[in-house]
Every structure is written in C-alpha cells, then in structure tokens.
C-alpha cells in the first residue's frame, strides 16, 4: 500500500506573481483564491519542505490529499495578495527568491514590462518569522548553465548565505532560474541544498531527481473546471497540456542549440 501511494505522485504547484499583469507568470488574485478554495474544499493540505523530503526519501507513508505550493521570484504581491489567502487556509509554501534583486524590480531575461517590484528584505524577514519558508533562486536570476564554474557556485552559495543571514535559517531548497540545469549545476546544487525544483511540467514521483523536481505551472489552471477536474483526479487536460509543453520545450532547446 505504501509503495502504491508513493508511486501515485505529488503535485508541486508553481506560482509567480499574483496580479492582473498580462503573461504566463501572472495570475489574478480572484483566480488564485479560487485555486486555493478548491484545494481546501476538496480536503487537501499543504506540505512543508521537510514533509516533502520525508515523502521523497520514503519516510512518509503517503502524499495523498497533499500539495507542495511554491512561488518563484519573490514578487512584492506575494506578501499582499498570496500570503493572506494561504494563511486563511493554513497553507504553507516555499518562496524562491533571487537575493541580489530583493527590494528592486525584475530586470532579468524574460522579465515583464513594465517590471514588477520584488519584496524588500524587511518584508521577507517578517514573512519568515510568520512561518513562510524561503529557498534560493540564485543571486541575480541568471541561467546557471551559461556561467563559469566559479560564477555558478557564487550564485548558488551566496544565495544560501544571504537567506540564512536575513531569515536566521539556512535554506534547504533551490529553484534554478528558467529551470535550466545540467550535470554540473545539479552537482553544485547538491553540495548546498537538500532539494531543487525545476520547470518540467509533471507530477513529482518518489523516484524523481531530487535536484530537478518537476512542478505544475498554475497559469494553465486558471479555469475553474480544469482545476476542479484535476483535483478530483481527472488527468485528461493535464496530460494534454503536458504533451504540448514537452513539444514546446523540445523546440526551444533545439533553437538554443542552434544559437549556441
């Protein structure tokens, strides 16, 4: 029974900005509230990083009716729009932040125009004291696969140092910007963190790479009927989206290879 429950997988949900801005990294507040309401009404509970690690290492019997909620980039609207909704439902979360950009506005490749503000260190510290768990997202939100070994380790290790200094707790997890990793990146992540999360669109399995854990981008589940069906166990829309995402990822990788 335990093996079956672990093989069933776990949904690791990805959010970025909770705002009305256009684009795939924004979800409006009403939609976010709907998504959290569906989870709560369906009897789901959130999972902490420690609980995720326990499940991944076989120390937990089941991830049934559990989700791991994650946010990338540390946008200021997390504090004003997302956190109150999560707190009302007693949901925990992981927030991955680029520590060298805290208190500024997004300015990395693919950033929204106009750029959205990020949380300040004082806000981040207050949230950490309120129970929010923070993880690394690099220092300057760089593609780690395009850096020299020294630059890459600086992005990974200094990020952890910054978070430990401002939250009082060393971060246990990391999310590579753009989901871009290779063997060298994975090896460096394993030296500093206990887990890392990627962008491959899938449910996490107990056998997944602990330093490239797949996640589910919640921008795809803005329509209540799609989200309710998924939470009930209907995977048809999810599987269609996963197949389309895989095609796009393959095409994007091929284009990068040509440019490189």
Q: State the burial class of residue 204 (Cβ atoms within 10 Å of its Cβ: 0-12, 13-18, 19+).
A: buried
Q: What is the pLDDT of residue 54?
A: 95
Q: What dihedral angle (degrees, nearest 10) is formed by the CA atoms of 246, 251, 253, 254?
A: 140
> What pLDDT score was predicted for residue 196?
98
* Residue-level pLDDT at 248: 79
Structure confidence at residue 255 (pLDDT): 52
As a dihedral over the C-alpha atoms of residue 183, residue 186, residue 190, residue 196, rounded to 10 degrees, the angle is: -160
Weakly modelled stretches of the chain, pLDDT under 70: 1-7, 250-260
Residue 249: predicted pLDDT: 72
Helix (H, G, I), strand (E, B) or coil at 107: coil
Domains observed in the chain: 2-235 (3.20.20.370)
Predicted local distance difference test score (pLDDT) of residue 4: 39
Q: How far is CA 81 from CA 21, 31, 106, in A?
A: 13, 11, 18
Predicted confidence at residue 6, as pLDDT, reads: 46
Q: Residue 16 has what pLDDT?
A: 98
């Amino acid at each position: 029974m335990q093996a079956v429950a672990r093989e069933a997988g776990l949904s690791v949900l990805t959010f970025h900005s909770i705002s009305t801005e256009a684009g795939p990294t924004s979800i409006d507040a009403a939609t976010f509230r709907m998504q959290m309401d569906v989870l709560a009404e369906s009897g789901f509970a959130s999972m902490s990083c420690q609980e995720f690690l326990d499940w991944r290492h076989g120390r937990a019997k089941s991830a049934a009716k559990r989700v791991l909620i994650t946010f990338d980039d540390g946008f200021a609207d997390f504090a004003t729009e997302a956190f109150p909704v999560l707190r009302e439902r007693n949901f925990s979360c992981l927030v991955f932040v680029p520590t060298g950009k805290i208190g500024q506005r997004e300015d990395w490749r693919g950033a929204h125009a106009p750029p959205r503000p990020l949380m300040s260190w004082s806000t981040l510290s207050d949230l950490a004291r309120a129970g929010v768990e923070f993880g690394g997202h690099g220092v300057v939100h760089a593609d780690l696969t395009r850096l020299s070994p020294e630059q890459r380790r600086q992005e990974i290790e200094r990020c952890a140092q910054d978070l430990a200094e401002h939250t009082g707790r060393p971060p246990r997890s990391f999310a590579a910007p753009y989901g871009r990793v290779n063997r060298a990146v994975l090896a460096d992540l394993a030296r500093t963190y206990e887990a890392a999360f990627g962008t491959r669109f899938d449910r996490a399995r107990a056998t997944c790479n602990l330093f490239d854990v797949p996640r589910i981008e919640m921008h795809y589940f803005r329509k209540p009927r799609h989200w309710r069906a998924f939470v009930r166990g209907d995977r048809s829309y999810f599987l269609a989206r996963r197949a389309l995402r895989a095609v796009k990822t393959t095409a994007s990788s091929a284009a990068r290879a040509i440019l490189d």
